[in-house]
């Protein structure tokens, strides 16, 4: 009897291993950045009744953001730099009615350009600054570039994020953290930046007091295999912390929303304690919202099960990084990893994190957002969010692809609904689902009239055994239009 | 004798779990509006259950599909098993990473609403499917 049971169990296991149930792992073969041909099939994208989708620009290389001028002409940023350590010139391109593009401006080897916003004759662009530090650039329509802000702490895991203009005459933008959860570790070496900038680390926006917790790892910066180092929070790799050590706050800082007058001037802190505040948008009632990417299961202090978050931004508020996730304590069994619970790094917390407006999928990489303002399009007051999709297994493991779609969120009650997804048996990017639909949506933006939703699709980026392998010329801009009443 | 009984129970539990997994893996878990059309929320209890789901479950099981955790929409668990799963870490021989949700996190009333929503989501097979194209 026992033998029969075993046989049956093995049969089921075989079925699971080769059948429908898969744990997602590496894919995409060897790591290359070579262009691929992407066969687009709008009919492979499912939308709610009454909406249609069509590609309006193709063959883009790592597009990240879109903005519109007074005439409603669309302009797109190309990142230049992308995860996987590919270095190309970042660009600002005009989208022409025939689907071609015209270059307005190009940057140096200091991408990624993460997004743009147009205001009164100028483009404001966030330059991610992986090599030389983040910048906010002001670009005229003729392509003349001036630096509004520079030396932002962007040479780590996360960059200077896309800007938005407020009614108060300020330019708001997010600045991501250097690390996953406050500790520089070997994961940052594998990302590439620790070797380039071995002293780079997170900077708090205000003074903080540490618990003195340190993390021991091997030292990839030396030839000696047995060399070990101990690293504390907010400190360079190999520098331990001590109990009650004070780390002085500074501006610019990591994991914050900052603002600067449109005409230039001193940098101001809006909110902090964020991890990667990627997308910013004002709602119809002028409330600023931000998407914040949750912790990864990687590095010296991995987090587990922490979703991405939509926050309503309150001036001066601390949002919890590196000790809280979505407003909940990380020092909890819920976030336990094989390395045990993440313990608090801070001896005193600068405040109590608020309740999120919504909690999105773990590893979904919920990025650019915009609010519907036109009843003709529908869902007025709801946030539309582009989900780039997971970067597993580098950031952790999942049972299925997460993200790779556009969702809409009611910020009043946190309810999330899919809006644009691929038609396939399971959710996932077109390259895995073998169809012609969405790949990695990274930004969404309504046209000035609010009648069309533009989706910036970064393109094909498989996670190979050697790391991310973003493919050139696979980026697309899609346009979603409402064509019928419901 | 006692050992034999325990081993028999163990294998039955493993078989049951695997069978559920196989069943769940081969039916589609997709229930979202673009795929299956809009769900109708006829009662406040259902609406409230959706909010409880969004605050506690959505991050790992987006709209009941697989994410960080496995899909839920195609697992034929009765209400009592769903409640036990949400409250207890020990479900299915302690395998899995899902946290348990205590009564101060999901109250008894909210649990009732959550189960109503999860069952409705599972049953939602569409009245307006593949609407867009």
Whether residue B132 has pLDDT greater than 50? no
A52 CB neighbours in chain B (<8 A) are: 132-133
**Beta-carbon contacts of residue B41 (< 8 Å; ≥ 6 apart):** B47, B50
> CB of B62 within 8 Å of any CB in chain A?
yes
Whether residue A380 has pLDDT greater than 70? yes
What's the average model confidence in pLDDT over A67-76?
98
DSSP 8-state code for residue A484: S
Shortest alpha-carbon distance between residue A19 and chain B (Å): 8
| Residue A18's pLDDT band (cuts 50, 70, 90) | very low
B26 CB neighbours in chain A (<8 A) are: 19-21
**pLDDT-wise least confident of A194-198, A358-362, B59-63, B93-97:** B93-97
- Partner residues linked to A215 by β-bridges: A231
Shortest alpha-carbon distance between residue A383 and chain B (Å): 15
Whether residue B105 has pLDDT greater than 90? yes
pLDDT in tens, B1-53: 444 445 666 566 666 666 665 665 567 899 999 999 999 998 999 999 999 99
Query: Residues 65 to 104 of B: which have CB under 8 A from any A CB?
Result: 65-71, 97, 99
A481 CB neighbours in chain B (<8 A) are: none
Assign residue A211 a region: left if phi > 0, alpha if psi is -120 to 50, beta otherwise?
alpha
User: Is B34 within 8 Å of A418 when comparing Cβ atoms?
Assistant: yes
User: Is A402 within 8 Å of B18 when comparing Cβ atoms?
Assistant: no
B8 CB neighbours in chain A (<8 A) are: 1
B124 CB neighbours in chain A (<8 A) are: none
| DSSP calls for B67-119 | SSS---TT----HHHHHHHHH-TTTTTT-S-PPP--TTTS-HHHHHHHHHHHH
pLDDT in tens, A146-172: 999 999 999 999 999 999 999 999 999
Contact A91, A75 (CB under 8 A): no
**What pLDDT is attached to residue B23?**
60
pLDDT in tens, A411-435: 999 999 999 999 999 999 999 999 9
Shortest alpha-carbon distance between residue A344 and chain B (Å): 19
pLDDT in tens, A168-208: 999 999 999 999 999 999 999 999 999 999 999 999 999 99
**What pLDDT is attached to residue A341?**
76
Cα torsion A438, A439, A442, A448: sign = negative
What's the average model confidence in pLDDT over A122-141?
98
User: Is B130 within 8 Å of A423 when comparing Cβ atoms?
Assistant: yes
Contacts of residues B103-108 at CB distance under 8 Å and 24 or more positions apart, as own/partner, are B105/B56, B106/B52, B106/B56
């Amino acid at each position: 009897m026992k033998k029969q049971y075993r046989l049956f169990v093995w049969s089921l296991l075989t079925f699971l291993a080769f059948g429908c149930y898969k744990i997602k792992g590496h894919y995409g073969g060897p790591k290359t950045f070579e262009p691929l041909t992407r066969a687009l099939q709008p009919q492979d994208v499912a939308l709610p009744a009454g909406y249609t989708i069509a590609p309006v620009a193709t063959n883009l290389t790592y597009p990240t953001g879109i903005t519109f001028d007074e005439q409603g002409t669309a302009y797109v940023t190309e990142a230049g730099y992308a995860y996987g350590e590919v270095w190309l010139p970042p660009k600002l391109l005009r989208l022409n009615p025939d689907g071609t593009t015209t270059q307005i401006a190009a940057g140096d080897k200091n991408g990624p350009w993460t997004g743009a916003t147009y205001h009164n004759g100028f483009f404001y662009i966030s330059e991610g600054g992986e090599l030389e530090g983040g910048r906010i650039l002001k670009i005229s329509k003729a392509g003349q570039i001036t630096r509004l802000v520079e030396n932002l702490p962007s040479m780590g895991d996360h960059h200077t994020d896309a800007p938005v203009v407020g009614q108060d005459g300020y330019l708001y933008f997010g600045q991501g953290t250097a690390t996953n959860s406050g500790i520089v570790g070997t994961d940052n070496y594998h990302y590439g930046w620790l070797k380039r900038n071995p002293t780079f680390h997170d900077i708090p926006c205000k003074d903080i007091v540490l618990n003195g917790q340190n993390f021991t790892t091997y030292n990839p910066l030396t030839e000696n295999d047995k060399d070990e180092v101990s690293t504390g929070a907010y400190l360079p790799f190999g520098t331990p912390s001590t109990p009650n050590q004070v780390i002085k706050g500074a501006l610019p800082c990591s994991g914050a929303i900052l603002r600067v007058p449109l005409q230039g001037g001193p940098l101001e802190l809006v909110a902090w304690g964020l991890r990667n505040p990627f997308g910013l948008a004002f709602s119809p009632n002028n409330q600023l919202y931000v998407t914040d990417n949750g912790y990864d299961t990687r590095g010296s202090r991995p987090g587990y099960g922490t979703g991405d978050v939509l926050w309503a931004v309150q001036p001066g508020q601390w949002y919890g990084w590196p000790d809280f996730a979505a407003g909940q304590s990380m020092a909890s069994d819920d976030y336990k990893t094989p390395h045990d619970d993440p313990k608090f790094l801070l001896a005193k917390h600068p405040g109590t994190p608020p309740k999120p407006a919504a909690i999105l999928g773990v590893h979904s990489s919920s990025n650019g957002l915009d609010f519907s303002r036109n009843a003709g399009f529908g869902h007025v007051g709801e946030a539309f969010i582009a989900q780039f999709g997971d970067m597993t297994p580098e950031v952790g493991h999942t049972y299925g692809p997460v993200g790779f779609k556009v969702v809409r969120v009611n910020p009043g009650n946190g309810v999330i609904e899919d809006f644009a997804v691929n038609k396939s048996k399971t959710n996932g990017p077109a390259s895995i689902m073998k169809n012609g639909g969405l790949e990695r949506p990274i930004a969404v933006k309504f046209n000035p009239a609010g009648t069309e939703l533009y989706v910036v699709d970064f393109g094909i980026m498989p996670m190979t055994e050697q790391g991310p392998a973003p493919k050139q010329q696979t980026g697309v801009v899609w346009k979603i239009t409402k064509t019928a009443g419901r | 004798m006692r050992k034999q009984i325990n081993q028999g129970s163990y294998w039955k539990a493993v078989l049951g779990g695997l069978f559920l997994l196989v069943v769940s893996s081969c039916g589609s878990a997709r229930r979202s509006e673009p795929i299956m059309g809009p769900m109708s929320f006829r009662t406040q209890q259902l609406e409230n259950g959706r909010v409880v789901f969004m605050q506690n479950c959505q991050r790992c099981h987006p709209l009941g599909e697989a994410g960080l955790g496995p899909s839920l929409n195609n697992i034929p668990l009765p209400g009592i098993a769903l409640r036990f799963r949400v409250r207890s870490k020990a479900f299915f021989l302690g395998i899995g990473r899902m946290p348990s949700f205590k009564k101060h996190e999901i109250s008894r009333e909210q649990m009732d609403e959550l189960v109503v929503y999860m069952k409705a989501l599972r049953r939602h097979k569409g009245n307006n499917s593949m609407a867009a194209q």
